[in-house]
Amino acid sequence: MGKIKVGFGFDVHQLRSQHPFVLGGVNLEHHSGAFGHSDADVLLHAICDALLGAANLRDIGFHFSNTDDRWKGISSLVLLQHVVVLLKEKGFTIGNIDAMVCLEAPKINPHIPAMKIHIAQAASISEEDISIKATTNEQLGFIGREEGVVAYAVCLIERD
């Protein structure tokens, strides 16, 4: 048996009116969207942080600084592809990813199959190895007021 490592990722972005909302590589129709330096895909950012953490490669901000114009407006699927390259350079493969998105609206369950396809392609893994879940914050706090969106992710990586 090879080396197995687990990582945890978290990300949060504020929601802004009339701003695009990209989640899991999917453009969602909604009156507001996540705001940030890249496409502000909170789900992919949490996944990237989980993978980087598991491989002891620091965090997403270290690799893709929000002060670097190369990453301004970039698809977070590209960031995930870069992270996978970093993992491969250290001899790791992804075992699985489990993620949770917390937001009041829009409902993302209808979009989860498309998100899994995008993530699987970017990470070079099977859709069967990706779990995406969603919950609300029961109208409590900044999430409940639809001022922000949060994502959590855990992953397992392995090296032979």
Instruction: State the chain's mean pLDDT as an integer.
Output: 95
Topology, domain 3-159: 60s Ribosomal Protein L30; Chain: A; (3.30.1330)
Distance (Å, rounded) from C-alpha 155 to C-alpha 129? 10
| 45 annotated among ligand-binding-site residues | yes
| 37 annotated among ligand-binding-site residues | yes
| 64 annotated among ligand-binding-site residues | yes
Q: Starting from the edge strand earliest in sequence, which strands make up the sheet with 3-17, in order?
A: 32-34, 3-17, 148-159, 93-102, 130-135
Sign of CA dihedral 86, 87, 90, 91: negative
Q: Which amino acid is at 29?
A: E
| 66 annotated among ligand-binding-site residues | yes
| 47 annotated among ligand-binding-site residues | no
| 137 annotated among ligand-binding-site residues | yes
| 38 annotated among ligand-binding-site residues | yes
Per-residue pLDDT tens for 142-151? 999 999 999 9
Bridge partners (DSSP) listed for residue 154: 8, 98
Distance (Å, rounded) from C-alpha 159 to C-alpha 54? 11
Per-residue pLDDT tens for 80-100? 999 999 999 999 999 999 999
| 11 annotated among ligand-binding-site residues | yes
pTM, entire model: 0.96
Residue 156 has pLDDT above 80, yes or no: yes
